Amino acid sequence: MVRLVNVASEVYPLNRLDEICTHIERCGRTCYKSENAITTETAAPFISGILKSGHESVIEHANVIFSMPVTTKNHLIFELKNVSGLYCSIEQDPLLHQETLIVSGNIRSFRDLARRHDIHDFLLLIGNPLFFIKENAIPYFQDLKIEGIQQSRFSEIHNYVTTHSICDLGAYKDVTRHRLASFSIESTRYCNYSKGKFGAELTMIEPCNIEKDSDMYHIWLKAMNDIETSYMEMAKLGAKGDQLRMILPHSTKADMIMTANVAEWKHIFSLRCHPAAHPSVQQVMKLILTECYKIWPHFFAEQYALFIKD
């Protein structure tokens, strides 16, 4: 019998510079379902491994927000093209009441900036040699400061949130169309559910658009159990993960880590909490919107009122 679970969402908090590596490890291990392997010593070797293998999307889950004075020299940042995940703006600092140049982005964007434009300042200030592209690089910008990790007092493009959701493969497929967000997903290729680690069973999400215990529900459940039987039989014949995943249905449970800035989250909620979106996407996105509203009521009040409260 397949295991049935419900959709869930939580925020993975990140507030301090010295938590960046453990946050990245926590996000990355979701892909391999190896969260149990985490100890106080494992973050650095895990990150070295993913950087060596080129699996760099995992380091997109940690974002740092910087400020620097508005000077002609610092203005160069606006001319550096072809770096995804990097955001720059000139904003009124609500604390110092002066115009300030704000730059934020994820660790991958700062490494791309270093590789493509030989600008290493952001990685140097973050200070972890694991992420450096060049040792002993010379900084370029004037009076660069770190203003926050993931969150800041600046606008919605300079505030980020990482969420962990349990949803179905259909919802994950829809949500990953959003190009300005970063994702790490449990791999259906590397997770072989016939193995003991997964209880030798498939896990499905309870469908939110098929009434529980209705005739249609029982037909759906039978189809899920038949697929599980076939999956285990194929595994007995020696099928590998690449072959086994060919029969997984949209209802299969997926763990999804997703990071974006508030501006992109708002865009995603406007499309995916809307009644036109598939019910299973609406379900998971409404859970995430509720979590975001708890952190930043001022950014999300309007959407919370529109999609959740009313």
Ligand X SMILES: Cc1cc2nc3c(=O)[nH]c(=O)nc-3n(C[C@H](O)[C@H](O)[C@H](O)COP(=O)(O)OP(=O)(O)OC[C@H]3O[C@@H](n4cnc5c(N)ncnc54)[C@H](O)[C@@H]3O)c2cc1C
Q: Which residues bind ligand X (CB under 6 A)?
A: 177-180, 267, 271, 276-277
- Rounded to the nearest whole angstrom, what is the least distance from the CB of residue 176 to ligand X in the complex? 9
118 HSE (CA, 13 A, CB side): 4
- Rounded to the nearest whole angstrom, what is the least distance from the CB of residue 21 to ligand X in the complex? 28
11/179 Cα distance (integer angstroms): 20
Amino acid at 3: R
- Rounded to the nearest whole angstrom, what is the least distance from the CB of residue 285 to ligand X in the complex? 10
- Rounded to the nearest whole angstrom, what is the least distance from the CB of residue 241 to ligand X in the complex? 27
Q: Which is nearer to ligand X, 65 or 273 (CB)?
A: 273
Q: Which is nearer to ligand X, 3 or 173 (CB)?
A: 173
Q: Which is nearer to ligand X, 33 or 267 (CB)?
A: 267
Q: Which is nearer to ligand X, 14 or 277 (CB)?
A: 277
- Rounded to the nearest whole angstrom, what is the least distance from the CB of residue 157 to ligand X in the complex? 12
- Rounded to the nearest whole angstrom, what is the least distance from the CB of residue 81 to ligand X in the complex? 14
What is the DSSP code string of 189-238?
TT--TTSGGGTTS-EEEPPTTS-TTSHHHHHHHHHHHHHHHHHHHHHHTT
80/119 Cα distance (integer angstroms): 10
- Rounded to the nearest whole angstrom, what is the least distance from the CB of residue 175 to ligand X in the complex? 9
Sign of CA dihedral 158, 85, 185, 51: negative
Distances from the Cα of 301 to the Cα of 11, 94, 269, angstroms: 18, 20, 12
277/282 Cα distance (integer angstroms): 6
- Rounded to the nearest whole angstrom, what is the least distance from the CB of residue 218 to ligand X in the complex? 29
Number of other residues whose CB lies within 10 A of the CB of residue 269: 24
Within the chain, residue ranges assigned H as helices are 20-32, 43-53, 107-117, 121-126, 169-175, 215-236, 241-244, 262-272, 279-295, 297-304
Amino acid at 186: E
Q: Which is nearer to ligand X, 255 or 264 (CB)?
A: 264
Residue 196's Cβ-count burial label (10 Å; 0-12, 13-18, 19+) is exposed
Do the bridges between strand 145-149 and strand 86-92 make them parallel or antiparallel, or are there none, so unpaired? unpaired
Angle between helices 279-295 and 297-304 (to 10 degrees): 150
Q: Which is nearer to ligand X, 147 or 174 (CB)?
A: 174
Q: Which is nearer to ligand X, 22 or 106 (CB)?
A: 106
Q: Which is nearer to ligand X, 237 or 276 (CB)?
A: 276
* Contact by Cβ (8 Å): 251, 158: no
